[in-house]
Structure 1
Amino acid sequence: MSKRLLVALMILALAGTLVAGCGGKKDAKPGEQKAAPKLTFRLAETHPPEHPTAQTDKEFAKLVSERSQGRIKIDVFAGAQLGEEKAAIEQVQLGAIEFTRVSSGPLAEFNKQLGVFSLPYIFNSDDHMWKYLNGPGGEKLLKGIESSKFIGLAYYTGGSRNFYAKKPITKLEDLKGMKIRVIQNKINMDMVQALGASATPMPWGEVFSGLQTGVIDAAENNWPSFLSSNHYQVAKYWISDAHQRVPEVLMMSKVAWDKLSDDDKKLIKQAAADSVKIQRELWAKSEKEAEAKVRAAGVTVVDVKDLKPWQDAVKPVIDKYGTEYKETLAEIAAAGK
C-alpha cells in the first residue's frame, strides 16, 4: 500500500470518528430537545395514612404522576415519618424534603399575616372562608411565604374547631371556670380567657390523659381529630361554635421548585389546584362519619344558634390583635358580604 493511500484512509477513518462523536440520532431534526429528566420527590405528612388530608396527598401525587406520564413521582410519607410539623417545615425550607402539608398556623412565622386565622369567629361559614382563600387576599398570603423559600401550592380545609368537655356545655356561660387545653399560642390563650375559662397549654399527645385524670376539663378541635384521638371516650359533651377555621397549606420547597422547567411548574401547580376539590369532599365525608360515630358512642352534641354573645365576648381579643391584621381582616370581612 502506497504511503499516499495510507494517509487517505486514515483521514477517512478520522472523519467517521468525528461524525459519530457528534452525538444524536442520524435523523435528528434541528432543534430537537432531549427528553425531560425523571424526578422523584418526597412529601411529608404528619397525619396518619387514613386521614382525609393524607389521602389527598396521595391523590395529588397520583395526578402529578399521571399527567407527567410517570416521569414525576411523589412519595407520600404519612404519620410524621419524616418528622413532626416543625421539623418538616425546616427541611422543606432547606430543600431536604420537596413537599409538605402543614397547618397555616406555624407558617405565620414566615408570613405574619397568616396568623390572622387564629383569631376567633372571623369567618361566618365555610363558604365565607373559601371565598376569601380563593380570592386575591388568600393568594397574597400564599405568595408571602415565597421569600422564606416556600412555594404555596394550595389551601386545604382543616374544618372548624369546636369545644368539647367532660361537663355539659350548652351555652357560653357553661365554659366559665373550665380548664381548657389550648395550643401554646397567645391568641388561643387570650380567646379562652375571654370566654371565661382558664387556658391550659398542653401538648396534643397529653390531652387524653389530661381529660381522663381531670388535669383539664375540656379541649377543642375538629370532628375527625376528636374521633381519631379517642377524646370522645372521656369528653362526652360537644358544642359546635366554630370559633376558628384554620386552613392548611400544601407547599413545595423553593429550592426544588426553581430547578423545575416552566412546564413542570405548571403541571404541579394545576395538580395541586385540582386536588383541593378532592380534599374538601374527603373532609366533608370524614366529618359526617366522625360525628355519627361519636353520637353513637353517647356524646351529646349542641349547635350554637346565636353566635353574637360569643363574638361579643372575644371582641377584646380582636381589638388587641386586630391592628396587626387590619388590612387582611378588612379583606376577609369583604369576602363575607
Structure 2
Amino acid sequence: MKTTMFLKKTACTVTVSAALVVMSLPAQANNWRGWNIHPPGYPNTVALEAFAEGVADRTEGRVKPQVYNNAVLGDQPDAIEQTRNGALDFANFNMGPMGPIVNETNVLSLPFIFSSIEHMHDVMDGEIGQRFADALAEKDLIALSWFDSGARSLYNTKRPIQTPADVQGLKVRVMNNDLYVDMIEALGGNATPMAYGEVYQSLRTGVLDGAENNYPSFESSNHYEAAEYYSLTEHLIIPECLCIARASWEALSPEDQEIVREEAIRASQMQRDLWVEGSRKSREIVLEAGVEINEVEDKAAFQELMAPVYAGFVERNPDLEELVDAIRNSN
C-alpha cells in the first residue's frame, strides 16, 4: 500500500514538473518555407524577401518565412502541389502554368485579354481578381496579392513584326499551353512548345526563328544576342500571385493573418515598382546591344485574328464565358 501511494505521488510530481517545463518554454515559431523560381536580385525575389522580413518582424518571430530562390525546391508544377498539401508554406506563382489545377486561371492566358498592364492591375486588384482568388482557394491556395510579369512580345531573327503577315512562316517558341499554340497559328506562324532553357541555342542554330517574352527575360536569358528584332505586340499580360498554403494560413491567429495579408500587399506594390525599373534597364541593355525595337501601330489587326482562339476556348469552357466577357468589358 505504501509503495502504491509513493508511486502515485511520484507520478503526480513528474506530471506537474513536466507541465511547468512546457509552460516555461517559449512558443515555437512557424518556420515558413517559400518557393521562388527567380534568382537573387530579381524584382520578385526582392519583394518576396521583403515580405518574409516584414512578416517576421511584425509577428515578433511567431512566423519566420524563408524564401528559397532559383526553384531549388522543384519546378512550378511540383511547387504548386507542395503548397496545396502544405509541404511549402508560400510561393510566387505565374498563372500560366496554373491552368491544369485551377481551370479559371486559363482565362488569364487568353491573348489580348488585357488591354494594358494597368488594366490588368485594375482587374486583379478588384472584384474580378477576387473571383480568381476564390477559385484558387478551392484548391487550397490562398492568393493574398498579385504580382506583375510585364507584357510579353514577339522577338525573332528575321524581321520586325508590324502586321500579322510578318509572323507568317516563323517558327516561334511558346510555353506548353494549347492557347499559346493556337495564338501563333492564328497569326500564320509555326508554334513550337519548348523548354525555356533550350531556346537560346535553338535561336542560334535556326531551329527557331523567334520566341516571345517580356523585356527582363529577353535580356537576362541573353536571347537578344541571337534575336535582333523585338516587336511590341504585348499579346500576353499574365499576372502572378503571392499564395499561401491553406494549412499555413488557417494555423495563424486572425491578428497574424492580417499582418501577413498587409505584408503581401506591400510586397506586391514593391514588386510592381521594381518591375517597371527592371524593364526600363533591360530595354536599355538590349538597345545598346543593337536590338531593333518597334512599336506595333495596329494591334487591332492582331486582336481580330484571335477570334477563333476565343471561340474555341469558350466552346471548351462555356462556364467561363461570362468571366471572359467581364474582363474584356472592364476596360
Q: TM-score surpassing 0.5? A: yes
Change in Cα spacing, 1:305 to 1:73, as seen in structure 2 (3 Å) is: same
8 A contact 1:98–1:252 mirrored in 2: yes
The whole-number CA distance in structure 1 between the counterparts of 2:327 and 2:282 is 29
- Name the residue aligned to 1:335: 330
1:83 aligns with 2:74: yes
Q: Cα deviation per residue 1:214-242 (whole Å; 9 max; x = unaligned)?
A: 00100001111001100000000000011
1:68 aligns with 2:59: yes
8 A contact 2:162–2:297 mirrored in 1: no
Of 252, 255, 258, the match for 2:244 = 252
The whole-number CA distance in structure 2 between the counterparts of 1:43 and 1:114 is 22
Task: Please report how far the alpha carbon of residue 196 of structure 1 lies from its aligned counterpart in structure 2 after TM superposition.
Answer: 1.0
1:270-281 equivalent positions in 2, closer than 5 A: 270-281=262-273
Task: Please report how far the alpha carbon of residue 101 of structure 1 lies from its aligned counterpart in structure 2 after TM superposition.
Answer: 0.9
1:1-337 equivalent positions in 2, closer than 5 A: 37-172=28-163, 173-323=165-315, 324=317, 325-336=320-331
Q: Which is worse superposed, 102-111 or 41-50?
A: 102-111
TM-score normalized by structure 2? 0.90
Q: Secondary structure at the match of 1:74?
A: strand
Given residue 326 of structure 2, which amino acid in structure 1 is its aligned partner?
A: E
The whole-number CA distance in structure 1 between the counterparts of 2:148 and 2:325 is 21
Q: Which is worse superposed, 188-197 or 36-45?
A: 36-45
Q: Which is worse superposed, 56-65 or 324-333?
A: 324-333
Q: Cα deviation per residue 1:276-297 (whole Å; 9 max; x = unaligned)?
A: 1100000000000000000000
The whole-number CA distance in structure 2 between the counterparts of 1:216 and 1:170 is 16
The whole-number CA distance in structure 2 between the counterparts of 1:111 and 1:181 is 24
Task: Please report how far the alpha carbon of residue 147 of structure 1 lies from its aligned counterpart in structure 2 after TM superposition.
Answer: 2.0
The whole-number CA distance in structure 2 between the counterparts of 1:141 and 1:274 is 20
Q: Flag structure 2 segments of 5+ consecutive residues without an equivalent.
A: 1-9
Q: Secondary structure at the match of 1:62?
A: helix
Q: Secondary structure at the match of 1:269?
A: helix
Given residue 242 of structure 1, which amino acid in structure 2 is its aligned partner?
A: E
Given residue 242 of structure 2, which amino acid in structure 1 is its aligned partner?
A: L
Q: Cα deviation per residue 1:69-120 (whole Å; 9 max; x = unaligned)?
A: 2332111110111111111111111211111111112222232111011111
Q: Percent identity?
A: 34
Task: Please report how far the alpha carbon of residue 35 of structure 1 lies from its aligned counterpart in structure 2 after TM superposition.
Answer: 7.2
Q: Cα deviation per residue 1:98-146 (whole Å; 9 max; x = unaligned)?
A: 1111111222223211101111111111111111101111111111122
The whole-number CA distance in structure 2 between the counterparts of 1:105 and 1:330 is 19
Q: Secondary structure at the match of 2:248?
A: helix
Task: Please report how far the alpha carbon of residue 22 of structure 1 lies from its aligned counterpart in structure 2 after TM superposition.
Answer: 11
Q: Cα deviation per residue 1:316-335 (whole Å; 9 max; x = unaligned)?
A: 11121135231111221232
Q: Flag structure 1 segments of 5+ consecutive residues without an equivalent.
A: 1-13, 25-33
Q: How large is the Cα RMSD of the aligned pairs? A: 2.3
8 A contact 2:34–2:65 mirrored in 1: yes
The whole-number CA distance in structure 2 between the counterparts of 1:158 and 1:317 is 22
The whole-number CA distance in structure 2 between the counterparts of 1:223 and 1:79 is 19
Q: Which is worse superposed, 209-218 or 123-132?
A: 123-132
Q: Which is worse superposed, 167-176 or 207-216?
A: 167-176
Task: Please report how far the alpha carbon of residue 66 of structure 1 lies from its aligned counterpart in structure 2 after TM superposition.
Answer: 1.9
Q: Cα deviation per residue 1:5-37 (whole Å; 9 max; x = unaligned)?
A: xxxxxxxxx9xx89x87978xxxxxxxxx9764
TM-score normalized by structure 1? 0.88
The whole-number CA distance in structure 1 between the counterparts of 2:274 and 2:237 is 17
8 A contact 2:136–2:143 mirrored in 1: yes
**Total equivalences in the alignment:** 315
Given residue 76 of structure 2, which amino acid in structure 1 is its aligned partner?
A: E
The whole-number CA distance in structure 1 between the counterparts of 2:121 and 2:63 is 30
8 A contact 1:169–1:175 mirrored in 2: no
8 A contact 2:161–2:167 mirrored in 1: no
- Name the residue aligned to 1:27: none
Higher-Rg structure is: 1
- Name the residue aligned to 1:11: none
Q: Secondary structure at the match of 1:250?
A: strand
Structure 1 residue runs of 4 or more that deviate by more than 3 Å after TM superposition: 20-24, 34-37
